[in-house]
Structure 1
Amino acid sequence: MMKLPRQRWEIATPNPEQVKQLIEATGLSPLIAKVIINRGIDTVKSTQVYLDPEVENLPSPLKEFPDLATSITLLQEAITTGEKIAICGDYDADGMTSTALLLRAFSQLGADIYYEIPSRMKDGYGINERIVEAFADQGVGVILTVDNGISAYQPIQRAIELGLTVIITDHHDLPEKLPPADAILNPKLLPENSPYRGLAGVGVAYILAVTTAQSLGITQGFIDPLLELFTLGTIADLAPLIGVNRRWLKRGLRRLPKSQLAGVQALMQVAGVSEEQKQLKPDDIGFRLGPRINAIGRIGDPQMIIELLTTDDPGIALERAMQCEQINAKRKAMCEQIELEAVHLVENTPIPWKKDRVLVVVQSNWHHGVIGIVASRLVERYGVPVFIGTYEENPSKIRGSARGIKEFNIFEALDFCGDLLGKYGGHKAAGGFSLLAKNLDHFKQRLSTFAHQYLEPHHLKPLVSIDAEANFDQLTPLLHQSIDQLQPWGIGNEFPVFWTPNVQVLEQRIVGKNHLKLVFCQDNNENQMKAVAWRWGEYFPLPKRVDIAYKLKENNWNGETNIEIEIIGIRLPLLETNSKPVMFEYQGKKYWCNFSSINNELKIKNEQGKVLAVTKGQRKGLLGTNRETAKEVDITQPHYYQLIKAAMGILGLSK
């Protein structure tokens, strides 16, 4: 029985007039113009900034952040008087790189500075009263939070009561009531159109460090190492690649291969990133360096990363980088094992996620530091919002992570269940929560109620977002070069995806660990395209004709460079274009029909573009403009039955 991936395709439809105007004004190719407009960039000026962020005149951070000048003054006073400054960081990649950045910067500026990062297991996220009181006992004068603090009203209030100065640097969503800190730096306090709005925690830390140094007249050799840490943290944190993030990342990525930081050199060495690369691509950081840093926060000791990124000793740096490597390998093995167990639970319990429109899976002995990664993988697999949890040391409590799909808001879903939960938080796409085990069944029911308000059955398939239709003769080295200039890729600037309908599968075979190697050709097009579909061996063999969605890739092998495609979506063509549809009239209306002997499928199209697809021997058919949103219909009903009979008669097929 033929098997294809369960997917829904969303093909962008940019305004043709906008595309035409952008092509005329910039000389961009039609495909690239469509990609750029699909990223929300729809004017010539914004396109120029997107292509070359350095052309934009940035407003001064001092004008944008209301409390920045106050923060600088407070830190200058602390440095001058020798007052102790304590950083309270976070255990994820953003928080650890932010902490390292500020430690490195303020040590160089002569500050008496040290740090503490809350324990993921004992403290949970963010500054708390225990940490505040410990700082006070140690004679701290200034607390500087990084990547946390905006929701910590009680701990900040306690710090103020104890006579401490508090500067919050954070980027998370604002609570209804802001903490009573002496200064708050958070891009969420800025206007929506501010170029600084998308900064991660490490971006806010970078601005604070650089502007403080500039106010003290110190810039020589100071900024570049901090820019590297900003780059590492921003990409690892999956911050949106817009505004200054995009501008500074492009700059930072050019620096990283030549980094003078012992920790970055060691991390690249163990991660197998070539120092010969002229420009390190974000993928190399996101998929090689970032996970090694993140793994420590998930299942290791964050102090290891702080030491790695602040030491100038190559020996210590290499030792810490190798520890990162070992812990990351352990993290990968954990994720694979938990994913296998979760899939087994879903498939064999079975869990009725299609009926519930949300997937809740809870198991003991899973490490809550990595279940968020597994949640993302389950979303990719099933295309449904996922809430995954594990029992804490106290089996009466559950701690979990959640990941969503486009039409579903995770934070709103958690809020809808707020009375059943302990702590919870997050945003549209992801969140975390805790609850008593006795509330689990009620939690599942409540989530299902919420999901039914926003999700239809056709939403519950992995989404493939597509930029534009392309012909094979457009897939050239020049197009690849143009795409490469749109880097860096990430949230808000995803890698372009194209599709080509009704291509012929010339060759297909399974290679390596269940991957597909393919060769496609397109009718009336001489170009053949080599392709790979990672981990898609289960779909072998593919039918002879398919629609494909893909990313353009460059394959360098034995000194030769070729353009190939990486398949991310496959579906059956709705209409075969190689066999011309035959027009006929039925009850005074025009229809077109054809029959595919490959798939044993009859297709009938009306004047409005709706297609009825019927497989021989089946009592149900599909009716719609595409397979993803088509509805099932009973073809034994008289209207459909007679229409099918007329079409088969025209095509000379027996009933």
Structure 2
Amino acid sequence: MQSRSNSNPSQPPQKLPSQRWRIAPAKVGLASKLALSTRLSPLLAQFLINRGIETQEEAYIYLYPESQEMPPPVEEFPDLVISVEILKEAIANGTKIAICGDYDADGMTSTALLLRALRWLGADVDYAIPSRMKDGYGINKRIVEEFASEGVGLILTVDNGISAHEAVSRAVELGITIIITDHHDLPPILPEADAILNPKQIPEPSHYRGLAGVGVAYILAVTLAQELGQLKGLTTQILELFTLGTIADLAPLTGINRRWVKRGLKLLPKSELTGVQALIQIGGVSEEQKELKPDDIGFKLGPRINAVGRLSDPQIVIELLTTTDPGIALERATQCEHINKERQERCEQIEKNAIALIEETPIDWQEARVLVIVQPDWHHGVIGIVASRLVERYGVPVFIGTYEEGNPEKIRGSARGIPEFNVFEALQSCHDLLGKYGGHKAAGGFSLPAENLSAFQISLSEFAHQCLEVEHLKPLIEIDTEANFSQLNFRLYKQIDTIHPCGIGNPDPIFWTPNVRVVDQKVVGNRHLKLTLSQDNEPNQITAIAWRWGEYFPIPSRVDIAYKLRENSWNGNIAVELELVGIRASSVAPLPPKKAEFSHNNRRYTCSLWESLNELRIKNPEGKVLAIQKGQKTGLLGVNREEAQEVDVTKPAYFQLIKAAIRALEIEGKG
């Protein structure tokens, strides 16, 4: 563990994350009025205003989403009634139903949800999930033909199928009825399925527009169970799966998602699902929590589910989420844990390789305005995560790929975007160069012949130049309001609880504080930066964590910070600390140093006190400088930073020299 009480004067100029900050305009009068009417902190009132909520009535609906009237799903989804009729008939006739899911958390929770619901309703149902390694994303002809050979009469896709023209056509040829449930962006021509449920078919203002695949599956299951009069006893278990899948898939927590997720988060700590209980136990989520938070799923439960689909057999997760046997549940949850650790190691290695490649070879991504990087032997189950990390680091759209195992002539990849760039539209613009592709605004997947790689890079760059300026190529930090450390207390933290769930589309409050002093800093764990911070005129210090920012150690002693609040529980002690999301050089100009000249042991010295660095510097006639920071027992002595030697300033010679310098500065100050 590295530790430093302040930035070491022997270090070269510090490197900080390259970011662009967008601070919402303060509306002090309106925030004060809204704070009074809602009894919220003015900080959170400003947060609501930034979300377009300016009245007490609007705030009430936001805080209590159950109070808002929502249209029934049958009024929103044109094919919902026919889908339910098809399923009712299939159940009544004993028709064999097959679910084709996807290998990500959304697809697996969707599959488990419909398996539970259809079995509850008496259906003859099974499932298949394409192999990430052999099949790639979505239903295909091979799966359709296997279903046909098994006597399947009805195929139900979840979280895929909206672009699967070939597979759907094959199902029609074989006389199999097919219902597509998906949430990905619509292609120009839709497949010839018997029914399609996709929220992208619904007009933009709809409360149902942001549903993930698991949300569409949930609506279908609930509507069908209501029609059959068998909803009682089913809702809770499938609502839990809806909540897991929605958050893990980074679906927007707005509209109907916000209402149902808020309800589901309260159910999960006392889950009715044996597998979820095991996952919570293995995932390190406190069993004492009254309700889970989106971060518990986003950073603890979701990754353990997702890792299986990335590196192993999705059947592990389906069994976990459908079993009623505690022994099997614990065994499958333990498998998820081991696979997730492997996923972390692979991600770490690929990320390091990618960064080295970008920074050590002439990849001019700023000129191209898009970063395209393809290497052999990368596991395409995890490159999507690496793409997200590269976007966080460089602030540019990232398209990352690897060659198919045993087929170097084919590339498969993942893409992640930035706010001003639409990934799905970018892929559409290159459709003539690609094999399969799909996704939405923020992310996508694609495959292409290796011989098309150069043309693909050029085409993406041309698309990027149409929507991106150079100033867009930095990670964007959206900030709600400025806060003083005196405002950061448990009362504020508990109020933030009332505005949950926060996440995509409805992000957590981000505060910022200018010109904070770094009292202590160290690198902990897996390259995380842990800080102790103070603010001038505030007596209390506060702890902060900056995930995976160890490379910026040591940071300057004065910085502006942007952050979320988090709770840290340790040995029964609970404290509010900061989770940094942004950091930049202080926007407050540092005070000039205090200077003085003095004599000591018949020699002339100059000295300066740099209050912004908390550092005293003493220079002798030969040009050597002794630099000491307050409270430290060692200092640095040398003519320059590179050659400075560490010395013990408690030794009498140095100690007396320092006392003489401090006296000289005090006399100069009084003069």
CA distances 1:96-145 after superposition (whole Å, capped 9, x unpaired): 11111111111111111111212222222222233223323322222211
Equivalent residue, structure 2, for 1:464: 477
- Pairing 1:547–2:560 present: yes
CA distances 1:395-428 after superposition (whole Å, capped 9, x unpaired): 1221111111122222232233333322222222
Name the CA shift for 1:310/1:415 in 2 (closer, same or farther; >3 Å). same
Residues in 1 aligned to 2:28 and 2:570: alpha-carbon distance in whole angstroms: 39
Query: Contact (CA 8 Å) 1:2, 1:542: kept in 2 or not?
Result: no
Find the partner of 1:453 among 456, 466, 478: 466
CA distances 1:158-207 after superposition (whole Å, capped 9, x unpaired): 32343322222111122222222222222222232222221111111111
Find the partner of 1:281 among 281, 293, 302: 293
Query: Contact (CA 8 Å) 1:5, 1:571: kept in 2 or not?
Result: yes
Specify the SS of the correspondent of 2:275. helix
- Pairing 1:307–2:319 present: yes
- Pairing 1:561–2:574 present: yes
Query: Contact (CA 8 Å) 1:14, 1:38: kept in 2 or not?
Result: no
Residues in 2 aligned to 1:131 and 1:509: alpha-carbon distance in whole angstroms: 52
Residues in 2 aligned to 1:348 and 1:334: alpha-carbon distance in whole angstroms: 21
1:385 is displaced (CA, Å) by 1.5
Specify the SS of the correspondent of 1:492. coil
Amino acid at match of 1:561: I
1:226 is displaced (CA, Å) by 0.9
1:75 is displaced (CA, Å) by 1.4
Equivalent residue, structure 1, for 2:547: 534
Residues in 2 aligned to 1:84 and 1:284: alpha-carbon distance in whole angstroms: 37
CA distances 1:417-442 after superposition (whole Å, capped 9, x unpaired): 33332222222211222222222223
Written as runs of structure 1 = structure 2, the 5 A alignment for 1:584-595 is none
Unaligned runs of 5+ in 1: 581-595, 600-655
Query: Contact (CA 8 Å) 2:591, 2:612: kept in 1 or not?
Result: no
Equivalent residue, structure 1, for 2:331: 319
Find the partner of 1:402 among 391, 415, 418: 415
Amino acid at match of 2:204: E
Query: Contact (CA 8 Å) 2:47, 2:480: kept in 1 or not?
Result: yes
1:528 is displaced (CA, Å) by 3.3
- Pairing 1:267–2:318 present: no
CA distances 1:487-546 after superposition (whole Å, capped 9, x unpaired): 122211212111111223333344445444333333344443332333334333333322
Equivalent residue, structure 2, for 1:632: none
- Pairing 1:234–2:246 present: yes
Name the CA shift for 1:526/1:374 in 2 (closer, same or farther; >3 Å). same
Equivalent residue, structure 1, for 2:265: 253
Name the CA shift for 1:274/1:573 in 2 (closer, same or farther; >3 Å). closer
TM-score (norm 1): 0.84
Equivalent residue, structure 2, for 1:147: 159
Name the CA shift for 1:168/1:533 in 2 (closer, same or farther; >3 Å). closer
Name the CA shift for 1:270/1:559 in 2 (closer, same or farther; >3 Å). closer
Written as runs of structure 1 = structure 2, the 5 A alignment for 1:35-114 is 35-114=47-126
1:157 is displaced (CA, Å) by 3.2
Equivalent residue, structure 2, for 1:477: 490
1:24 is displaced (CA, Å) by 4.8
Name the CA shift for 1:223/1:513 in 2 (closer, same or farther; >3 Å). closer
Query: Contact (CA 8 Å) 2:513, 2:561: kept in 1 or not?
Result: yes
Query: Contact (CA 8 Å) 1:39, 1:492: kept in 2 or not?
Result: no
- Pairing 1:296–2:311 present: no
Equivalent residue, structure 1, for 2:187: 175
CA distances 1:16-42 after superposition (whole Å, capped 9, x unpaired): 565455335433322102212323444
- Pairing 1:7–2:19 present: yes
Specify the SS of the correspondent of 1:396. strand
Residues in 2 aligned to 1:320 and 1:512: alpha-carbon distance in whole angstroms: 27
- Pairing 1:195–2:236 present: no
Q: Is the deviation greater in 157-166 or in 72-81?
A: 157-166
Name the CA shift for 1:73/1:390 in 2 (closer, same or farther; >3 Å). same
Query: Contact (CA 8 Å) 2:236, 2:272: kept in 1 or not?
Result: no
1:598 is displaced (CA, Å) by 5.5
Amino acid at match of 1:433: F
Residues in 1 aligned to 2:51 and 2:106: alpha-carbon distance in whole angstroms: 25
Q: Is the deviation greater in 433-442 or in 391-400?
A: 433-442
Equivalent residue, structure 1, for 2:604: none
Find the partner of 1:436 among 449, 457, 471: 449
Amino acid at match of 1:56: Q
Specify the SS of the correspondent of 2:493. helix
CA distances 1:621-648 after superposition (whole Å, capped 9, x unpaired): xxxxxxxxxxxxxxxxxxxxxxxxxxxx
Equivalent residue, structure 1, for 2:624: none
Name the CA shift for 1:290/1:14 in 2 (closer, same or farther; >3 Å). same
1:252 is displaced (CA, Å) by 1.1
Amino acid at match of 2:369: R
CA distances 1:233-266 after superposition (whole Å, capped 9, x unpaired): 1111111111121111111111111113221122
Residues in 2 aligned to 1:154 and 1:440: alpha-carbon distance in whole angstroms: 25
Name the CA shift for 1:203/1:354 in 2 (closer, same or farther; >3 Å). same
Residues in 1 aligned to 2:451 and 2:572: alpha-carbon distance in whole angstroms: 62
Amino acid at match of 1:377: R
Name the CA shift for 1:419/1:28 in 2 (closer, same or farther; >3 Å). same
Query: Contact (CA 8 Å) 2:563, 2:578: kept in 1 or not?
Result: yes
Name the CA shift for 1:417/1:222 in 2 (closer, same or farther; >3 Å). closer
Residues in 2 aligned to 1:288 and 1:281: alpha-carbon distance in whole angstroms: 11
Specify the SS of the correspondent of 1:567. strand
Amino acid at match of 1:201: G
Written as runs of structure 1 = structure 2, the 5 A alignment for 1:488-507 is 488-507=501-520
Unaligned runs of 5+ in 2: 1-11, 594-609, 614-671
Written as runs of structure 1 = structure 2, the 5 A alignment for 1:628-639 is none
Residues in 2 aligned to 1:137 and 1:494: alpha-carbon distance in whole angstroms: 47
Residues in 2 aligned to 1:365 and 1:514: alpha-carbon distance in whole angstroms: 25
Residues in 2 aligned to 1:514 and 1:368: alpha-carbon distance in whole angstroms: 24
Residues in 2 aligned to 1:558 and 1:262: alpha-carbon distance in whole angstroms: 29
Percent identical among aligned pairs is: 67
Give RMSD over aligned pairs. Answer: 2.4
Highest CA radius of gyration, 1 or 2? 2
Q: Is the deviation greater in 58-67 or in 477-486?
A: 58-67
Amino acid at match of 1:574: S
Residues in 2 aligned to 1:519 and 1:314: alpha-carbon distance in whole angstroms: 43
Residues in 1 aligned to 2:312 and 2:225: alpha-carbon distance in whole angstroms: 33
The structure showing larger relative contact order (alpha-carbon pairs under 8 Å, at least 6 residues apart) is 2
Query: Contact (CA 8 Å) 2:74, 2:80: kept in 1 or not?
Result: yes
Name the CA shift for 1:472/1:104 in 2 (closer, same or farther; >3 Å). same
CA distances 1:571-598 after superposition (whole Å, capped 9, x unpaired): 2233428679xxxxxxxxxxxxxxx996
Query: Contact (CA 8 Å) 1:523, 1:578: kept in 2 or not?
Result: no
Equivalent residue, structure 1, for 2:42: 30
Find the partner of 1:131 among 119, 129, 143: 143
